[in-house]
Amino acid sequence: MAVESKYMPLDGANAVSQAMRQIDPDVVAAYPITPQTAVVQNFSQYVADGIVHTEFVPVESEHAAMSACIGSEVSGARTMTATAANGLALMWEELYIASGMHLPIVLTVVNRALSGPLNIHCDHSDSMGARDSGWMQLYAETGQEAYDNTIQAVRIAEHSDVLTPIMSCQDGFITGHGVERVGLLPDEAVRDFVGSYEPELTLLDTDRPATFGAWDFTDYYFEHKREQSEALIKHALRVIREVGREYEELSGRPQPILDMFGMDDAELAIIVLSSTGGTARAVARELREKGDKVGVIRPRVYRPFPDDMLVDAIKDCKAVAVLDRAISFGSPQGGGPVFTDLTAALYNHGVVGLPVVDYVYGLGGRDTLPPMIESVYDDLAEVAAEGDRGAMVRYLGLRE
C-alpha cells in the first residue's frame, strides 16, 4: 500500500539532495560544478547541521571525488556523489575502474554541455560520452523523477545480480534549477526501502581478506569484461523493473522503463530522453485531439539499452523520429547516440523497412519549443506518405 508523500516546491537539484538526506549514505565525496553544485551544497549543509551521519569529503577535483568514492566503496561504505559536464569528463578513467570493480556507486549527473567552446547549459554530451563506461544510466523528465530515480538507484546498483555503478541524470537548468511540485516520501519509508548496505567482500574485512584493484593480465581480463557486460545484459533491466514495481507500490508513482503516450495505435512516434519528453507529449496530446495518430516514447533507462521493448513499441509505426541532445562525432552523417543504438536494434531484430530520422536538438541549452516538435511530426507525416526518409540526420532549431 502506498504511503503518503509530502509535496513541496523544489528544484531538481534540491530534490536529489533531499533524497540523499533520506538515504543517509555513509560517504559522499564531491566537488562543485555548475549546474550540479546545489546538490552537494544542500547536502553538505545537512552534514554540517548533523541531520545525516554521512562522512562528507570535499576534494580538489572531480577526479579525486571519484577516486575517493572508489576507496570508500571498496571499504564497505555506501557511497554517492554528483557532477556535470567537464567534471564528469575529469572522472573518466575512474569511471571504468568503478564499473570494472563492480562498485555500486550512485552518481547524480545534472546534464551540461561539454566544453569547448565553454557552455554551462544543458545537453547530453557529458553522460552520452560516458555511455560505454560500464555504468547504468537513468534519465529523469522532472524533479519528481530525479528524486524517485535517486532512491531506486541505490537498490538497483547494490543488487547482488548487478553490482554496477549507476548514473541518475537530469537536465541542467531545466529540471536542475526549475522549481516544480515534488512529493517526498517519509524519511523512514525511504530508509526502509534502501535498507542497509552489506557487501559480501570489503577491503577492511580482516576475517575475509580480499584483493581489490589487482593486476589482471591477459589470462583473465577478457573473462572479467565479459562477466561485467553480462551483468548489464542479463540482469540489470530485470532488477530495474523489479525495484520499480516495489517503489511504485511504496510511492503510488509508476516507474516504467519506457514512458509511453499514444503508442497503442501510433503511426508516427518521437523517441526522446529527459525533460523534452514533456514538451513532446504536450504537442502529441494536441495533435491526437485533432485525430492524428502520434505518440511519444521517453526512455527512463538508457543503459542498459532496452532494445527489445523499444523495437516492440515502434515496429508497427509508419515513421519514427529520434531526438538526440548530443552528437556522436564521426558517426554516419553525424547522428546522435540514441539514434545509432535504436537503428542497430531495429536491424538486429529484423525490422528493416521502418524509416527512422534523427533530429539533433537543444545543444548548449538551446530551447526546444512546441512548434519545433510539431514540425517533426509534419516531417514524419511526409516521410510516411512518400516512403522516402530523405536526410537521415537533421537539426532541430539550428539557425540558418
Give the tens place of pLDDT for each residue, 77-99. 999 999 999 999 999 999 999 99
Helix (H) or strand (E) holding 356: strand 356-361
- The whole-number average pLDDT for the span 243-271 is 98
User: Does residue 184 register a pLDDT over 90?
Assistant: yes
Residue 80 has, within 13 A of its CA and on its CB side, a CA count of 25
CATH number of 258-396: 3.40.50.920
318 φ, ψ (degrees, to nearest 5): -95, -25
Residue 1: pLDDT band (50, 70, 90) is confident
Cell readout for 114 is 561539454
Same fold, 6-251 and 258-396: yes
Instruction: Check residue 174 and give its pLDDT.
Output: 98
Q: Is the peptide bond between 209 and the residue preceding it cis, with omega within 30 degrees of 0?
A: no
What DSSP letter does each residue of 197-257 carry, written as one string?
A: ---S--TT-TTS----S----TTTHHHHHHHHHHIIIIIIHHHHHHHHHHHHHHHS----S
Q: What percent of the chain has pLDDT over 90?
A: 99
What is the radius of gyration, based on Cα positions, of the chain? Answer: 21
In this predicted model, what pLDDT tens digit does every residue of 198-219 receive, in sequence order?
999 999 999 999 999 889 999 9
- Span 100-104, average pLDDT: 97
Residue 100: partners with Cβ closer than 8 Å, 6 or more residues away? 134, 224, 225, 228
| Mean pLDDT within 7-33 | 98
Is the confidence at residue 400, as pLDDT, over 90? no
Residue carrying C-alpha cell 556507486:
105
> Model pTM?
0.98
Give the pLDDT mean for 315-328. 98
Partners of 83 in the beta sheet?
Answer: 109
Residue type, 210: A
The 356-361 sheet, strands edge to edge:
258-261, 294-299, 268-272, 319-324, 356-361, 393-396
- The domain limits of the chain are 6-251, 258-396
Residue 329 DSSP class: T
Residue 130 has which C-alpha cell? 560516458
Q: Is the peptide bond before 304 cis (omega within 30 degrees of 0)?
A: yes
Give pLDDT tens digits for 363-374: 999 999 999 999
Q: Under 8 Å CB-to-CB from 277, ≥6 apart: which residues?
A: 141, 259, 296, 298
For the chain, the average pLDDT equals: 97
Task: Note the pLDDT of residue 3.
Answer: 97
Mean pLDDT of 229-254: 98
Query: What mean pLDDT is predicted for residues 99-107?
Result: 98
Predicted local confidence at residue 191, as pLDDT? 98
Q: What is the pLDDT of residue 217?
A: 92
CA atoms within 13 A on the CB side of 149: 31
What is the distance between the alpha carbons of residues 309 and 256, in angstroms, rounded to a whole number? 11
First to last CA, the chain: 54
- Residue 159 DSSP label: -
Fold of 6-251: Rossmann fold (3.40.50)
| Relative orientation angle of helices 92-100 and 62-74, to the nearest 10 degrees | 10
